[in-house]
Amino acid sequence: MKNLKKTEGEVAVSTTPLPGRGDLPARDLLLQAASELMIELGTPDVSLHAIARRAGVTAPLVKYYFGGKEGLLLALVERDTARSLAQLEGLHATNLDPLAKLKLHISGIARTYSRYPYLVGLLNHLLRESRTKASERIKTSFVTPLIEAQRRLVQEGIAAGQLRPIDPDKLYYIIVGACNYLFSSRLVFANIMGDHLSGPEFEREFAATVIDVILNGVRA
């Protein structure tokens, strides 16, 4: 049985290592522990102490692997966004038409935020500290490529006559916001709208609805 303890906003979370993870390297174990705690607590504001405890390692090991908490958070962002970025590159290499590409792109964004609901909060936190190296690395390795890839998709779609003329930068905020809000707010809405919000079926349906509304909204 998990050792439940009230921490971080009085939500009961397990702080003991999960069983069957002994084969993961300590670095991955720490990233996984941070990810799980952020999901359970509904916020990226998780203490280093809680992360280390959950991973079953001591806090100095975090310093050894990541140089400190910011390094760990940065590595988590890189872990969580690696697949999206790879998919985005793959998407550009396909022969699909722009509308089909945009559909796969929105679906990838919805999947990323459903899997890592803390991601927007974590990115905002790291970007706000705008004089740090972490912030620069996030901008150049994730945020800028995502914005530019989406700009290109939208411009291709407009040029092909498949999309109505629309400002890609404004559409960026609409798409990311529409995909992200449910997932980032799910915990706090759970007892307002009922617990159906967290099932995998609702997630699939939600992603389908976002794609449907936005594609219908931008189609020429």
Residues that bind a second copy in the complex, under the rule CB under 8 A: 9-11, 42-43, 120, 123-124, 127-131, 139, 143-144, 147, 164, 166-167, 169-171, 173-174, 176-182, 184-185, 187-189, 191-193, 205-206, 209-210, 212-218
Tell me if 54 sits within 8 A of 92, measured CB to CB: no
DSSP string of 127-165, one letter each residue: HHSTTSHHHHHHIIIIIHHHHHHHHHHHHHHHHTTSB--
| Angstrom distance (rounded) from CA 114 to CA 118 | 9
CB 151 to a second copy: min, Å: 10
CA 55 vs. chain centroid, Å, equals: 21
Complex with a second copy: residue 93 or 192, whichever CB lies closer: 192
Cα dihedral 189, 192, 198, 204 sign: negative
CB 127 to a second copy: min, Å: 4
Complex with a second copy: residue 23 or 201, whichever CB lies closer: 201
Complex with a second copy: residue 31 or 110, whichever CB lies closer: 110
CB 214 to a second copy: min, Å: 6
CB 103 to a second copy: min, Å: 13
> Which residues fall within 8 angstroms of residue 11, CB to CB, at 6 or more apart?
40, 41, 42
Tell me if 33 sits within 8 A of 22, measured CB to CB: no
CA angle 8, 42, 173 (to 5 degrees): 135
Complex with a second copy: residue 1 or 192, whichever CB lies closer: 192
Complex with a second copy: residue 61 or 107, whichever CB lies closer: 107
CB 145 to a second copy: min, Å: 11
